[in-house]
């Protein structure tokens, strides 16, 4: 039986979930009377987010208890401490971490029914005077808002309420006019940066990872953990164009860890969490035929035995030795570096031939998704932080050898640079003692040249440059946080803009030009 067919299916196995406890019936009654109206009778979400273990994993049971007891600031979640006693709160928290009675399903009809269109009035220019290509889009996770910042004056020009818990980088149309956001509970939002208006929204999954936009800006791909799907939407009005039920060649379903645009290949590349395959989905209507599953096989009979696909959304499977769920792409998108959370290594996959071509030992859990690359001594190097060790590994992409390990203040999450800057900025986001420190590394000497601690004791991370590369913006990721603007050459603080837990910030120009030092 398929684990996630597009209908209600009894749940057979779900290893990530705790089994329902004995106090379940009390908790279920409480849930239906107190929570269901916002979070849905089946815990799939509504006004509030889905309350399933896969959505709540990072909150933890004690965090869930605290949220039920105290409510959540700046949201519609009230405090229940005067309505539910301690035992009830504990039972409810355990309940939302237990397996749902039915497999979570989100079929095409559900996706389509969720779509809301709010078209903006016609506009032939932005309704503000700031450079529309030097805007910053800032995701404020504290009270779930997005701020639009003038990237020359560093002044907010607009702020709006976003979906709950946006995650991953927003994606821009090639002209920089529209931006798309995705939330952890599956919502995709299209926002018009000229009229400053949300124009369309749709819930493409129950638990989503991220989105990608196609090279021509016409299609949005949504990577889902729940259900096991990859959903393609029209970027125009978010209408569903195709749903891939993701499974390996043996029909074992897989979650999709992330999906990316490969601009030089005119395709989406998807990382699968549970299958030893990388998926490439063509976004070129004239793509030649591909032989799914056997792209690297020499066995003619097997190639003939498999159907070929061609054109828009043709699927190519690249078989690899084990699942890889964290990717870095070289700027030509010929090679991909992949890792999974368990291994102390990265695997290089050549996307042209569909083969693993090298393995790089990289202990300390590299965070390849945050890797960046630059030219040094005529050779292209890439650098990655590590989630479990305070170091940056620098790799020569010609022979895939680690050429340096730069010690940092602690395990880090993000890295950034700009083609006009001689420096790389990185954080120690995961360090219990140095999470307030930003370190700046010389791209040539590979030495740390400066450490900044702009808000002692407060988590400080995620950097983005402005269009010119002259300024670097850093987040103090706290509820009473701030965006700090630095001179990228002198490292002097220029301005501090208060914000509610600013997470990521994204410069329109750098994103649409695939600037070398930023994420895509
Ligand atoms: Fe992220 C990007 C996965 C936890 C903030 N994160 C991404 C991307 C992936 C990913 C695959 C690339 C998507 C894209 O931009 O299109 N993140 C994961 C995880 O697997 C992990 C470790 C665990 C999880 O909970 O999913 C994780 N991420 C976090 C956080 O805890 C962060 C710090 C806070 C939050 O809001 O969840 C966080 N992730 C971010 C940000 C980006 C991101 C800000 C975009 C980075 C960029 O500059 O483009």
DSSP SS3 for 175: coil
DSSP tag of 32: I
Residue whose CA lies nearest to ligand 1 atom number 23 = 58
pLDDT digit string (tens) for 432-484? 999 999 999 999 999 999 999 999 999 999 999 999 999 999 999 999 999 99
pLDDT digit string (tens) for 113-165? 999 999 988 999 999 999 999 999 999 999 999 999 999 999 999 999 999 88
pLDDT in the model for residue 44: 78
DSSP tag of 201: E
Which is the closest atom of ligand 1 to the Cα of 169?
15
Q: Which CATH number fits domain 16-104: 3.40.1410.10, 1.20.1600.10, 1.10.760.10, 1.10.3210.10?
A: 1.10.760.10
pLDDT in the model for residue 7: 29
- Angle at alpha carbon of residue 394, lines to 352 and 435, rounded to 5°: 120
C-alpha distances out from residue 173 to 220, 467, 483, Å: 10, 17, 25
Which is the closest atom of ligand 1 to the Cα of 165?
36
Spatial separation of the C-alpha atoms in residues 219 and 113, rounded to whole Å: 19
Residue whose CA lies nearest to ligand 1 atom number 40 = 168
DSSP tag of 100: P
Q: How confident is the model at residue 102 (pLDDT cuts 50, 70, 90)?
A: low
pLDDT in the model for residue 11: 32
- The answer to whether residue 250 scores a pLDDT higher than 50 is yes
The mean pLDDT value for 172-178 works out to 98
Give the number of other Cβ atoms within 10 Å of residue 60's Cβ: 12
Q: Where are the domains of the chain?
A: 16-104
* Residues whose CB falls within 8 Å of the CB of residue 20, separated by 6 or more in sequence, listed in order: 95, 98, 99
Helix 61-70 to helix 86-96 angle, to the nearest 10 degrees?
Answer: 130
| Residues of the chain by 3-state class (helix, strand, coil), percent to 5 | 15, 40, 50
The mean pLDDT value for 351-372 works out to 93
- The answer to whether residue 2 scores a pLDDT higher than 80 is no
CB 190, CB 111: distance < 8 Å = no
pLDDT digit string (tens) for 486-519? 999 999 999 999 999 999 999 999 999 999 888 8
- The answer to whether residue 327 scores a pLDDT higher than 80 is yes
Spatial separation of the C-alpha atoms in residues 422 and 426, rounded to whole Å: 14
Report which of 244, 276, 415 is spatially closest to residue 354, judged by C-alpha positions.
Answer: 276
DSSP SS3 for 27: helix
Average pLDDT, the chain: 89
Query: What's the alpha-carbon Rg for the chain, to the nearest Å?
Result: 23
Residue whose CA lies nearest to ligand 1 atom number 14 = 168
C-alpha distances out from residue 426 to 82, 337, 380, 409, 499, Å: 44, 20, 19, 10, 21
Which is the closest atom of ligand 1 to the Cα of 413?
33
pLDDT in the model for residue 23: 55
DSSP SS3 for 502: strand
Residue whose CA lies nearest to ligand 1 atom number 25 = 58
Instruction: Using CB atoms within 10 Å of the CB of residue 220, give its burial: 0 to 12 exposed, 13 to 18 middle, 19+ buried.
Output: buried
Residue ranges around ligand 1 (CB below 6 Å): 58, 141, 167-169, 209-210, 258, 369, 413, 462, 503-504, 519
**Does 275 or 301 have the greater pLDDT score?**
275
Peptide bond into 363 cis (omega under 30): no
Assigned token pair, 492:
């002097």
What is the model's pTM? 0.87
pLDDT in the model for residue 1: 28
| Sheet of strand 178-182: strand arrangement | 116-117, 197-203, 187-192, 178-182, 171-172
Which is the closest atom of ligand 1 to the Cα of 139?
44
pLDDT digit string (tens) for 13-68? 333 344 445 457 889 999 999 999 888 888 877 667 778 886 675 678 999 999 99
């Amino acid at each position: 039986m398929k684990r996630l067919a597009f209908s209600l299916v009894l749940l057979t196995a779900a290893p990530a979930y705790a089994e329902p406890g004995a106090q379940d019936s009390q908790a279920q009654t409480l849930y239906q009377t107190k929570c269901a109206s916002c979070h849905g009778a089946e815990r799939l979400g509504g006004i509030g987010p889905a309350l399933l273990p896969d959505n709540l994993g990072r909150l933890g049971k004690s965090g869930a208890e605290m949220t039920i007891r105290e409510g959540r600031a700046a949201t519609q979640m009230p405090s229940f401490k005067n309505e539910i006693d301690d035992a009830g709160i504990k039972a409810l928290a355990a309940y939302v971490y237990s397996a749902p009675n039915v497999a979570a399903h989100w079929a095409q009809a559900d996706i389509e029914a969720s779509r809301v269109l709010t078209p903006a009035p016609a506009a032939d220019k932005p309704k503000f005077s700031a450079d529309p290509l030097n805007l910053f889009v800032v995701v404020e996770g504290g009270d779930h808002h997005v701020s639009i910042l003038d990237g020359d004056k560093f002044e907010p020009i607009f702020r709006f309420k976003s979906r709950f818990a946006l995650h991953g980088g927003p994606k821009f149309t090639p002209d920089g006019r529209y931006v798309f956001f995705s939330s952890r509970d599956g919502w995709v939002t299209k926002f018009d940066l000229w009229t400053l208006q949300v124009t369309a929204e749709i819930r493409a999954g129950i638990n989503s990872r991220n989105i990608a936009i196609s090279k021509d800006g016409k299609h949005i791909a949504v990577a889902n953990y729940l259900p096991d799907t990859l959903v393609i939407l029209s970027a125009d009005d978010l209408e569903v164009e195709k749903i891939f039920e993701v499974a390996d060649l043996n029909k074992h379903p897989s979650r999709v860890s992330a999906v990316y645009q490969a601009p030089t290949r005119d395709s989406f590349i998807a990382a699968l969490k549970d299958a030893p395959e990388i998926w490439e989905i063509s976004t070129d209507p004239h793509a030649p035929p591909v032989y799914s599953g056997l792209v690297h096989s020499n066995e003619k009979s097997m190639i003939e035995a498999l159907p070929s696909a061609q054109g828009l959304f043709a699927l190519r499977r690249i078989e690899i030795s084990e699942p890889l769920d964290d990717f870095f792409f070289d700027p030509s998108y010929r090679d991909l570096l992949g890792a999974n959370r368990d291994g102390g290594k990265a695997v290089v996959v050549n996307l042209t031939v569909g083969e693993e071509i090298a393995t790089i030992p990289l202990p300390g859990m590299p965070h390849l998704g945050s890797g960046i690359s630059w030219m040094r001594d005529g050779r292209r190097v890439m650098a990655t932080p590590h989630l479990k060790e305070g170091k940056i590994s620098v790799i020569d992409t010609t022979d895939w050898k680690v050429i340096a390990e730069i010690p940092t203040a602690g395990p880090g999450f993000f890295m950034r640079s700009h083609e006009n800057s001689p420096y790389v900025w990185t954080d120690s986001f995961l360090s219990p003692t140095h999470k307030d420190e930003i370190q700046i590394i010389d791209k040539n000497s590979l030495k740390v040249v400066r450490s900044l601690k702009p808000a002692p004791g407060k988590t400080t991370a995620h950097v983005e440059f402005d269009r010119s590369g002259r300024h670097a913006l850093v987040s103090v990721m706290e509820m009473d946080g701030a965006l700090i603007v630095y001179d990228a050459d002198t490292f002097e603080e220029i301005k501090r803009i208060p914000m509610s837990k600013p997470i990521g910030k994204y410069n329109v120009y750098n994103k649409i030009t695939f600037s070398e030092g930023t994420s895509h």
